[in-house]
Structure 1
């Protein structure tokens, strides 16, 4: 006979047959999370393995930045040290931002509830009879989140550099009209990349690990006024960490989709000057 000393079926808990006594649509939030997050995973996976249509000068898809593999001309601003890599260049870099998001404290709550039903909502019994937390494989790997945060900062710096490059004049083959354009380029793609990098930084800097890095392990804040100011600022950002997580997820996909449509000739960049 299976043990009943775990979770809501424990002998020390009240015996209630119903899965939950909640009368609201508690299932709506985990279902929405499941659909949206699954859609992003499918889209990102397809785009990562495509290995093409990720660059439309001067725009580079964030899925392929920095482009370190065998990339199309103009897409590699840091060289191609992994030019020998036989698969898509996106697979070289995506492991870092993906690892940062998958181990994120907010995303853990989201996919624990939406995918593993552990539990699906507050006051709703989970189907699992045992709970080991994040002390065993594979969930123990969540503890590397802080190291992925350092990698996410580097990725954020590279994406910021991409925004600066998005102001470059377009080459003749991409320009509307004859010859190479002059002056500063500003198009709809530039604005989308600016918004994306802003959300990326808000998400990265509002991270719980960032909050601990700037203000953790201190006995007296009064002796560290600079770190205290940083800690209070990050703490305010941290209150909306979940919001920045979703906004940055949507903005990354939107910029990639825009670059895809430009690269395939489906649309033309709306240029302001």
Structure 2
């Protein structure tokens, strides 16, 4: 005769012998799965698109715009070699797409970002899929083992992300020049570049690591008024970290796709002056 205390046959997660013998995995009646499903769909769509563009190795420059996926262009074979910004650090031996050289840094920054960890842990690994819904895994080791221990590299990726944001700011300034390098140009692409770099900076500065770097290890804010003001500013951005993460993800994709359309000859850049 059942006593109500027998362990679930699965004996994992919430069904371990030390937990109450409740047969249901959760008691939520709402559509809790919509949020992780939507997150997974959005991230998967961006992964598919960015992978295609990174390996396309074409249509990433249309004067004066260079795709944020390919900037800075570090290989000799870059299409922007004689007409746009590049550093040519890799010479002629690099045979793969120039985007692969640089994308590892913003990708590493986003993959180790606290919000994106939550997003793909829930969306893809169901760890856990939602509040009050137990994860299906038998054990939990957190981020103490390989490969998740690599999440601790987030602060170092933040430093690289600052440099990338600086390069994108330089590209944005150059977007105010025309194809003949004359200043005073402003097209629809310029507007997109300005919006994108603003969102990139906002997302980068809203990072938890940035907040700690700016205001961490201080015992008395009153003795460090400049850092205190900076910490409060970053804290306000940090409160919108999720929104900025998605907005900057969309903006960088839209900006890249716009450059692709211009470079492939789909239409000409509408100019305001």
Provide TM-score, normalisation by structure 1: 0.92
Q: Deviations over 1:144-166 (max 9, x none)?
A: 00000000000000000000000
Deviation at 1:76, TM superposition (A): 4.8
Map of 2:129 onto structure 1: 120
Structure 1, unpaired ranges of 5+: 172-180
Map of 1:46 onto structure 2: 52
Q: Distance in 2 between matches of 1:193 and 1:130?
A: 45
Pick from 23, 27, 33: which aligns with 2:33?
27
- Say if 1:143 and 1:75 are closer, same or farther in 2 by CA, change over 3 A: farther
Q: Deviations over 1:221-250 (max 9, x none)?
A: 121111111111111110000000000000
**How large is the Cα RMSD of the aligned pairs?**
1.8
Q: Deviations over 1:113-143 (max 9, x none)?
A: 0000001000112110100000000000000
Map of 2:88 onto structure 1: 80
Q: Distance in 1 between matches of 2:196 and 2:234?
A: 19
- Say if 1:215 and 1:6 are closer, same or farther in 2 by CA, change over 3 A: farther
SS in 1 for 2:54: helix
- Say if 1:226 and 1:5 are closer, same or farther in 2 by CA, change over 3 A: farther
Map of 2:217 onto structure 1: 217
Q: Distance in 1 between matches of 2:52 and 2:86?
A: 25
Structure 2, unpaired ranges of 5+: 1-7
Partners of 2:128 and 2:134 within 8 A in 1: yes
Q: Distance in 1 between matches of 2:21 and 2:126?
A: 21
Matched, 1:133 2:142: yes
Q: Which runs of 4+ in 1 moved over 3 A?
A: 2-7, 73-76
Map of 1:266 onto structure 2: 266
Q: Deviations over 1:187-217 (max 9, x none)?
A: 0000000000000000000000000001111
Partners of 1:61 and 1:255 within 8 A in 2: yes
- Describe how 1:42-121 pairs up with structure 2 within 5 A: 42-69=48-75, 70-72=77-79, 73-74=81-82, 76-83=84-91, 84-121=93-130
Moved more, 133-142 or 69-78: 69-78
Q: Distance in 2 between matches of 1:24 and 1:224?
A: 48
Q: Deviations over 1:68-119 (max 9, x none)?
A: 1120144652431113211000000000000000000000000000000001
Map of 1:37 onto structure 2: 43
Q: Distance in 2 between matches of 1:227 and 1:183?
A: 37
The size of the alignment, in residue pairs, is: 264
- Say if 1:256 and 1:75 are closer, same or farther in 2 by CA, change over 3 A: farther
Provide TM-score, normalisation by structure 2: 0.92
- Say if 1:5 and 1:19 are closer, same or farther in 2 by CA, change over 3 A: closer
